[in-house]
Amino acid sequence: MKAGQDDMLGENTGAVLDKDPVGPAPAIVVRNLSKVYKIYDTPSDRLKELLNPFKKNYHRDFWALRDVNIEIPKGITFGIIGQNGSGKSTLLQIIAGVLRPSSGHVEVKGRISALLELGAGFNKEFTGRENVFMQGAIMGISRKEMEARFEKIADFADIGHFIDQPVKTYSSGMYVRLAFATAINVDPEILIVDEALAVGDVMFQRRCYRRIEEFQQAGRTIILVSQAPGIITTVCTRALLLDKGKMVEIGDSKRVVNLYSKMLAEREEAYAKRLSGGQKKEPQKDERLQSVSGLKAQSTSEFRYGSGEAEILDYQILDEKGEKTSVLALGKEYTIKYVVHFKKDVQEPVLGMMVKTLKGVEVFGTNTLYEGIPVGPAGKGSRLTAEFKFLARLHQDAYALTVGVAEVTPSSINALDRRCDISVFRVLGKRQWVGIVDMDVNISIKVQD
């Protein structure tokens, strides 16, 4: 059984080697990879340790990465997700050859091109044109070959006369435009993209993702780092969750993103408790993905998390006659209904729902807070019934339903019970169109006199 398929609640906090013995050959192999930095309180401590190498240590070890093991097969798009400081960029820089590991090794099979974090890779004193040719030289591409590719790079970057200005005069968006245009036009077998794409404007981001789609269709290997769960589930087949330099989970991208969302929710809850004086320390790192007592998934497809201070007891999709169904007719009205049991007094509860594709793409979601619907205080032991009426305007396909209840506090919104992918429903109909949502378009054609 592959990593990420055996435990839907993430009880195992140690990730295992992502290995598929019958799949394609690996493009990248990372074995026992660690990166440690020595942290000194003062510059003099560094000198003292240098002059007394066999005596007292004047530093503390900071492990940016520790014991990372992954295999990335050729031809897949692999995502890496995690909070700031989790080690994502360090891992990419080691794979790209920019950094040396403290221990372990990386094996890369194929020409690699990397768009790393903003500021890495280009000499700011050089012009854009000079940097393009320098990047080509670093990758072993002749100047003649780069000259043949330069026009294509300049057209994609679309920064006009700034191509002949020093990079230090560029805005962050212009920098990313040129860096990405260079990275994708040197014919790499492996493309690495850090979070730098988030800096570009919306139209350029779409241009970049179209190019990534072309790379995928050509069977190239892509490593994509992002803190946006939607991008990871939409673009990536498999993913890695890093936290504090360690592997938390590796496997199906949708599952990894669910674990990441759970981790963020638990840390937000801990932060709120510290502000209120109920907790003084961060949860221990080994506890960060433990399930809350009393909250259990009802099926192998469900992913569930929350504080457990409220519980969703029942859920169903009802047709116009009030009968339970899992098959929806296009254009008909349905109701998502569930019951919440509160185990403590909640001053401002929020109830919500979300529909996703089976690949994890968010189609639609809302809640009582977004809609401006006051729920009122809910006392301990009380129950509320939530009903969300909607028209089935979705393409003929299968979709997953998520429901949840949260608490609004002065500092945050804390998940009490969130049941992701509790059930799957299917939409049927004869109408044909492209995309996910039926916008109920009326077309009229008039002949001009």
Render the burial of 388-426: b for 16+ CB within 10 Å, e for the rest: bebebbbbeeebbbbbbbbbbbeeebbbbbbbbbbbebe
Rounded to 5 degrees, what angle do the CA atoms 151, 155, 157 make?
Answer: 115
Give Dmax over CA atoms of the chain in angstroms. 96
274 close to 260: Cβ distance less than 8 angstroms: no
Q: Count how many Cα atoms sit within 13 Å of the Cα of residue 323 in the half-sphere of its side chain.
A: 4
In Å, what is the CA distance from 306 to each residue of 200, 278, 303?
35, 17, 11
Beta-bridged to residue 339, according to DSSP, are: 314, 385
- What tens digit of pLDDT does each residue of 222-236 get? 999 888 888 898 889
20 close to 252: Cβ distance less than 8 angstroms: no
Closest residue by Cα to residue 30 from 71, 67, 79, 86: 71
Compute the distance between CA of residue 79 and CA of residue 264 in angstroms, rounded to an integer. Answer: 18
Closest residue by Cα to residue 277 from 409, 418, 381: 409
235 close to 81: Cβ distance less than 8 angstroms: no
Which pLDDT score is estimated for 1? Answer: 33
Which CATH code of 3.30.1490.190, 3.40.50.1010, 3.30.450.20, 3.40.50.300 fits the domain covering 26-110+189-255? 3.40.50.300
- What tens digit of pLDDT does each residue of 111-154 get? 888 877 655 568 889 999 999 999 888 878 889 999 999 999 99
Which pLDDT score is estimated for 49? Answer: 78
Dihedral sign, Cα of residue 246, residue 250, residue 253, residue 259: negative
**202 backbone φψ class: left, alpha, beta (φ>0; ψ -120 to 50):** alpha
In Å, what is the CA distance from 389 to each residue of 56, 230, 333?
69, 25, 7
Mean pLDDT per 10-residue section of the chain, whose length is 449 residues = 33 42 78 91 82 75 93 94 90 90 93 72 87 86 90 90 91 85 86 73 78 90 88 91 94 91 83 63 40 56 89 94 94 96 96 91 93 94 96 92 93 90 91 88 89
pTM of the model: 0.73
Q: How is residue 224 written in tokens?
A: 């994509």
Q: What is the DSSP letter of 289?
A: T
Q: Which CATH architecture has domain 296-428?
A: Distorted Sandwich (2.70)
Report the first-to-last Cα separation within the chain, whole angstroms. Answer: 68
Which pLDDT score is estimated for 50? Answer: 80
Compute the distance between CA of residue 93 and CA of residue 97 in angstroms, rounded to an integer. Answer: 6
Beta-bridged to residue 390, according to DSSP, are: 334
Which pLDDT score is estimated for 208? Answer: 82
Per-domain residue ranges of the chain: 26-110+189-255, 296-428
Which pLDDT score is estimated for 349? Answer: 96
Run of H or E residues at 49: helix 43-51
Residue 396, classed as helix, strand or coil, is coil
DSSP result, 333-387: EEEEEEEEEESS-BSSEEEEEEEEETT--EEEEEETTTTT-----B-TT-EEEEE
Closest residue by Cα to residue 130 from 176, 162, 174, 172: 162
Run of H or E residues at 364: strand 362-367
Compute the distance between CA of residue 288 and CA of residue 268 in angstroms, rounded to an integer. Answer: 12
**Fold matches, 26-110+189-255 and 296-428:** no
Pairing assessment for the beta strands 77-81 and 221-225 based on DSSP bridges: parallel
Q: How is residue 176 written in tokens?
A: 């990313």
64 close to 90: Cβ distance less than 8 angstroms: yes
Compute the distance between CA of residue 386 and CA of residue 401 in angstroms, rounded to an integer. Answer: 14
Angle between helices 128-138 and 143-157 (to 10 degrees): 130
Residue 221, classed as helix, strand or coil, is strand
Phi and psi for 14 in degrees, rounded to 5?
-100, 125
